[in-house]
Structure 1
Amino acid sequence: MSLLRVTLLVLVALNALAFAGIKGWLGTSTPGSEHERISMQLNPEHIRLATDSPAQGLQASLQPASPAYEAAPAQPQSPPMAAAGTEAPEVLTADTAAAMVADTAIEEDPPAAAAPVEDTAEPAPAQPEPAAARVEAPVVATTPATSCFVWSALSEAQADALSRRLRRSGADPERSRSDIPDSWWVRIPAQGSRSQAERRADELRALGVKDLFIVQEPGPTQYAISLGVFKTESRARVMLNQLRNQGVRNAGVEARMTTRYRVQAELPTDMLRSVEGSVPGIDRNRSTCPRR
């Protein structure tokens, strides 16, 4: 056999061995791409680094390897020597895996891994409300305070005039009437007839009583002998004592009654002058209402 034929057979045998290694007939197969080669040699989720590294919190974010491959052992096996003409697969060391995980964390930067940032900014001061948004409270008119007043000892004409003026001012007057002593009368009771009254008057003159007269008006006091009329009861009593000292008998003091009116109403104090102006002198009869 010639040397040329031997050389050709050796080359054919080497090519056959290389082809068998590429196809995996010798127990291994050459990965078709870089990604496939890395996934065959290493599952990233199983990497555990001895030192603390920022990559530790990011390992879970890496995508798992294809389920078609089995988990690689903790220590990567050295691939068999490839046939001539092929490149040996690269071995991924721990430093290289950490660098790849760091690069992947920088590219992906998942929000879940970011540490919460405390908001230390001070709250902005409250802005005042615009003038248009402010609602002002309605102004409520206050009613002036009123007081209770009473006018007493009024004549019928005074009571009528005051009541009309109070109603025009918006008040609601209350009116009442009563008989009160107007004066005190010192007298000798009525005699049975005019002649009897004249005879009794002559007896009084004989005792020194000069100021007397006989009542002529019809009524219960007709033919009575009047000895004096006084504004107060005390002065009437003084006169009665003097007559008794003179020997006058059967004399006495009688109150002379008159009808008077009382008006009560509530109104503001500043309206008193205008109300009382319609009845001159009526302010002397005014007083405050008694407390109940």
Structure 2
Amino acid sequence: MSTTRLLVIVLILLNALAFAGVKGWIVGTPPRTEPERITNQLNPERIRLSGVAAREGAASEPSLPTTPLAPAPSSPTVAVAETPAEAESMARTGQADEPVPLPDADVVATAGETLPTPQPPALVCQAWAGLSEQEADALTRRLRQAGVEAERRRSETPSAWWVRVPPQGSRDQAERRVQELRELGVKDMFIVQEAGQSQYAISLGLFKTEARAQQLLGQLRARGVRNAGVEARMSTTYLIQARLADEGVRAIEADVRGISARRTACNGR
């Protein structure tokens, strides 16, 4: 047998094997075509096409499957330190892959700055002197309403100076003494009638200043009046002291009539 005939026989055998493999006669089942897959589907009559594809008869060729796009790489998050100390800490612990940007000096100053605490108004010692009992009561009550503790002092101060002859034992004795004074040239006088320590005294004059009272007493002695003298007439006054702001002083004085004229310097203990 010639070599050419042998090659032809081998080619025929190879083609036969290839054909048998395509048909699936040698291993497995032959590949199914599109009509065969549709035939083998379960309940193919229930398949319904919807939308535009059903109206158009699904005549167009099947579209190629789309491959989802890979997400764009996100930019790395860069940690920003708010203070130099935070920047140093982040660099030391490895929280930042790149050099950590430092904040501006103005930002650091603003972040570390604390708002100033409002200071309460300064309290100043205020005093009102020469008050009557009614005025002192009204002022003390108003200060307490404002939440201010007040210090109250009572004092006896001379309100006038009285030139007089000491009290006589009875009205008759006082009248005899008045007659003697008239003989010495004294004209302005009267007998005190009110009950008390000064009853039946002979009043010769009442003055606002001690100097004026002493002047009259000298004139009386020059005329021969020997038992006359000067006595201070005392009155009870009150002093109120408190510590409060200037705004509080104006508000309180506005509520207590006439009290602003009595304000004076504080007296230390």
Q: More deviation in 182-191 or 268-277?
A: 268-277
Q: How far, CA to CA, are the matches of 2:155 and 2:103 in structure 1?
A: 73
Contact 1:182 1:255 (8 Å CA) reproduced? yes
1:194 alignment partner in structure 2 = 171
What do you get for the CA RMSD once the two structures are aligned?
2.4
Q: TM-score, normalised by structure 1?
A: 0.53
2:212 alignment partner in structure 1 = 235
* Runs (5+) with no aligned partner, structure 2: 1-98
**Residue type of the partner of 1:179?**
E
Q: Is residue 126 from structure 1 mapped to residue 109 from structure 2 by the alignment?
A: no
Q: TM-score, normalised by structure 2?
A: 0.58
Q: How far, CA to CA, are the matches of 1:242 and 1:125 in structure 2?
A: 101
The percent identity for this pair of structures is: 55
What is the correspondence of 1:78-93 to structure 2 with a 5 Å cutoff?
none
What is the correspondence of 1:137-286 to structure 2 with a 5 Å cutoff?
137-286=114-263
Contact 1:161 1:278 (8 Å CA) reproduced? no
- Please state whether the residue corresponding to 2:200 is helix, strand or coil: coil
1:32-60 residue CA offsets vs partner (Å, 9 max, x unmatched): xxxxxxxxxxxxxxxxxxxxxxxxxxxxx
Q: How far, CA to CA, are the matches of 1:252 and 1:175 in structure 2?
A: 34
Residues 283, 198 of structure 1: CA spacing in aligned structure 2 closer, same or farther, 3 A cutoff? same
1:163-202 residue CA offsets vs partner (Å, 9 max, x unmatched): 1111122211011212121111100000011000001011
Contact 1:240 1:253 (8 Å CA) reproduced? yes
- Please state whether the residue corresponding to 1:165 is helix, strand or coil: helix
- Please state whether the residue corresponding to 2:217 is helix, strand or coil: helix
1:61-92 residue CA offsets vs partner (Å, 9 max, x unmatched): xxxxxxxxxxxxxxxxxxxxxxxxxxxxxxxx
CA offset at residue 289 of structure 1? Answer: 1.7
Q: How far, CA to CA, are the matches of 2:182 and 2:225 in structure 1?
A: 10
1:245-286 residue CA offsets vs partner (Å, 9 max, x unmatched): 222120000011111111110010122222112333322321
Q: How far, CA to CA, are the matches of 1:170 and 1:262 in structure 2?
A: 19
1:70 alignment partner in structure 2 = none
Q: How far, CA to CA, are the matches of 2:181 and 2:252 in structure 1?
A: 52
**Residue type of the partner of 2:216?**
M
Q: How far, CA to CA, are the matches of 2:233 and 2:103 in structure 1?
A: 84
**Residue type of the partner of 1:245?**
A
Q: How far, CA to CA, are the matches of 1:127 and 1:277 in structure 2?
A: 56
